[in-house]
Amino acid sequence: MQRTILLLLLTSTFLFNCKSKNITISRAFYYWQTHFDINEEEQKYIDSLHVRKLYVRFFDVSYNPVKGAVPIADLYNGIEYYSLYKQCDTVPAILDSLSLEIVPTVFITNFTFEKLTLQDIPALAGKVSNKLDQMITENTNNRYPKTFKEIQFDCDWTQSTKEKFFLFLKEFKRNTPKYRISATIRLYQYKYFEKAGVPPVDRGMLMVYNLTDLHKLKEQNSILDIEEAKQYLTHTEYPLSLDIALPIFSWGIIFRNNKYVDIDRNINSSKAEQCLFLKKNTSNQFTVTTDTVYNNIYLREGDILKIEDISSSQLEEITKFLKPLSAKTDLTVTFFHLDEELLHKYKIQDLEKIYRGFHK
């Protein structure tokens, strides 16, 4: 009898351990453009990586002194975009794909909640809900409403605005109960959740980038500094189930007399090294040698251009510290963001290795 009980305990323990390791890692990308137009190369890239989810920026919400809090910068999408700009009525094939889940994503500036009162929040939630319903209906052409299961909100809330942002999330959920709701979580909100608060949503998206102040000229990479990230990844306990977003974007930050001037989101290290008006100083800093205009940005002789981008080795290293988060629950690993030019820097096997790193 004792032997039988022991065998049963060993068997149940084995089955439990096997089940606990059976974690699903879903693959995704953010799509953060002003129009929805995935080209053939981008489509092949995500197909090769077996990506089945896109977090698509639908619009932003900002505060206008005259109009108040209003949706802006709508995504040109589907028939509307193609009829206006492509002179045809073909809906992008990506929207017709039942195998790809689209997650409408809305960016709300923290300034919006700084300007609003608690009494203003229900009206804003209703406005955003109506706007999303309108865009979802128009862009699916009433054909695939089941494609949309989740709505994500991106807002870098603070202690002073968390009450209003969290109320917004509750009101939106009340207006639109059919969707799962997720929210982005910055690393400092993750580490200090007891002080920062936990949003009332179904899931969180841990944004593992934009860690330090890009307005300061220093050697640190403001997009992803591994040592800085380690300071926040000191625990694995968080009241929400979390997904993970990693950066694959680049930018150039312009400084004049050691002060921030502008940011160029369309340049990287390889492009900078080909510019005749730039002289390389360090591994990621260049001096402008003559007055010029580049990517519609005026540059003066003597300006410093600091290039920030992310290598595959950096992504591999940060994955090791994030791995414990994947030991508890299913999660989605997302790259920011899908863009043909950015993808040229990363071979398919580079990102495949990152995705697989969460399984090991």
Phi, then psi, of 91 in degrees rounded to 5? -80, 140
Query: Six-digit token pair at 156?
Result: 């870098």
Q: What percent of the chain has pLDDT over 90?
A: 70
How many other β-carbons are positioned within 10 Å of the β-carbon of residue 98? 8
DSSP letters of 255-288? EETTEEEEEETT--HHHHHH-TTEEE-SSSEEEE
List the beta bridge partners of residue 136: none
User: Taking residues 251-262, what's their average pLDDT?
Assistant: 97
CA atoms within 13 A on the CB side of 77: 24
136: part of which helix (H) or strand (E)? Answer: helix 121-140
pLDDT, one tens digit per residue, over 166-189 is 999 999 999 999 999 999 999 999
> With bands split at pLDDT 50, 70 and 90, how would you rate the model's confidence at 308?
very high
202: part of which helix (H) or strand (E)? Answer: none
Residues 6+ apart with CB under 8 A from 334: 28, 29, 30, 53, 55, 205, 243, 244, 245, 246
How many other β-carbons are positioned within 10 Å of the β-carbon of residue 357? 18
Please state the pTM of the whole predicted model: 0.88
Which amino acid does the sequence have at 154?
A: D
Q: How far is CA 181 from CA 29, 45, 127, 177, 198, in A?
A: 18, 28, 16, 9, 13
Whether the pLDDT of residue 310 is over 90: the answer is yes
User: Taking residues 340-354, what's their average pLDDT?
Assistant: 93
What's the chain's average pLDDT?
86
Please report the pLDDT score of residue 14 as a whole number: 35
pLDDT, one tens digit per residue, over 14-51 is 333 333 457 889 999 999 988 888 888 999 999 999 99
Whether the pLDDT of residue 89 is over 50: the answer is no
List the beta bridge partners of residue 27: 333
- Helix, strand, coil shares of the chain as percentages rounded to 5? 40, 25, 35
